[in-house]
Structure 1
């Protein structure tokens, strides 16, 4: 029995990056031998065991064969005869197909170390094209290591293109897709993830609503970058630079989908794109079964982001309606995330990345003013039920009018 550290732990050590998760492969062992050593079995499809002390996962070396569609369409074979090289060849990228023994002796049959040095994301074997999830994984790695100069090898991008055209991507479950998408959006350069998906034709399959934005112009006076797709990538880039949470990044990706529906004869203006885009945002949310908080914020940002930009011009009554829509009294964090998404949208414009966004503090102040209206005096006046709600709304409107006047002076 021989035990090797494999995959990301080896890759990241060689890159000088922190190693978080460690995967282990056991060569030359049987299930019975593992159980005899105190390991506990957890693998449903192939033999995976938990270490009796550390709880880390150890998998028996295995081969795999394509037997159906999608990510799960494989049959696995694990036995003591399977070699380390046979186990490594089934992996996606050469940089993930290296192994180390307990003395840090490297096993690198597919030249992963060379590709690390040359900053290339390259597939290990033609079997790469059997697993559609790898399209998303490679795009995610491209986003993760973009800062180090990594690029997808042309021949790997071609395989990804073939996968995108094969119909295999449609076989991915919403849960698997969302896991990769959400992880990719939280990388330091999530815009690279979207760009790589577009480069290989996967974006128009997975998110045609986002893909449709590329080539759609916007008024240059407001958007020096002009192209709606480029703008979306820039907004996503800003959301990562400003360390925004997943909810905000997802909203940034989807906020302008309505612009893809504007007839060409109306370009570069996009009247009512906020409202038009809601059905598209809803469709993308449902397709990937995004978490509820991501879905809600994406829809609210899509509908109201131009309100955010025009905050200083809004009438007090419109401002109150905006605050009510976000339920700022019970869900203050959601409104804070809306403000963040609006600011990222404003910064995601060529040459305007550093421009201040006074609307942010103005909106926070308005929310504080509305929240500060006390209910008790109205109760003491005998208001209750619907009448109490209307009275509270009137008092909040008065307070916002005062706030608006003081801000203007």
Structure 2
């Protein structure tokens, strides 16, 4: 593994976390709007995407760097320290998250609640022999806790990357890229994993079986609605309701944001809407009916990132702070989530694959598709060893 020798992860002090979180929230909604399909289930992790882009920012320069700062709302100083501080505040496990027994069953008499598991991991995989810049390595080591694993993209680099992804997501995501170009020289990845029990599980009240769920187009599907009566933080406003479902033993909670019928739920994920919900949440005796869900979203982020204004990532990008002649080829995001009576398990990975830049367009074109001459010359003396011409390349004499 390539690392910045002697560099340990820093303990950040006075990092601009609030400013980075504001930028992350706005960026997350813009990216969600650009990538989500209103008629399809969607889950993304703005945090995972932001970590990957923040690591890329550590090696970006020129317009590429300034565009990342603008779109993600990075402050002029300390963005990497802020992500370091976020990691320290959010994660609950040191190292690889434990893989749960997903075959285990629970019943209403099971009152034991497991402590939450939250993991954030950053990984880099570089072609063997690629001269990665030392300043970049120092930032990765000190702020993201990451070194660079050396691999061979002509061999089984994808296997090594997928094994890392599988491990860091406790088996919920098995692979990152569908393919890797043989010219790939570096892959940058982030993984976020969560497993947490509800503080108030839905196990005590019997569910409503065969309930009707009305889709956006007016059609209905039959589903089971979990039911809960508890003192929960609740807020409402014109055309919306919000209820907070806390997870046991942590500062984490799920906000369920329900618009009036016919309105888009995406509108409730704007920074302004989330701010209104946060300001209005008050403890209220709430009766909640909620379906469980279990689905995944896979996104090619190239088009959504362009939509939110990150064109310089792909058009003449400058990642000279990582290594020379790198071009961003792929940006992939995979996320999944399972919600049931007992809690939530979710995982997300974001990967950025960099290839070597193509050679520049030639300054001159030579097309020998008609008779031409040749000479084999001795350079220092210009003595011709052989001379001749080609009149018919298909002939043998």
TM class, shorter-length: under 0.3
User: Greater strand percent: which structure?
Assistant: 2
Higher relative contact order (CA 8 A, sep 6+): 2
**TM-score, normalising length: structure 1:** 0.20
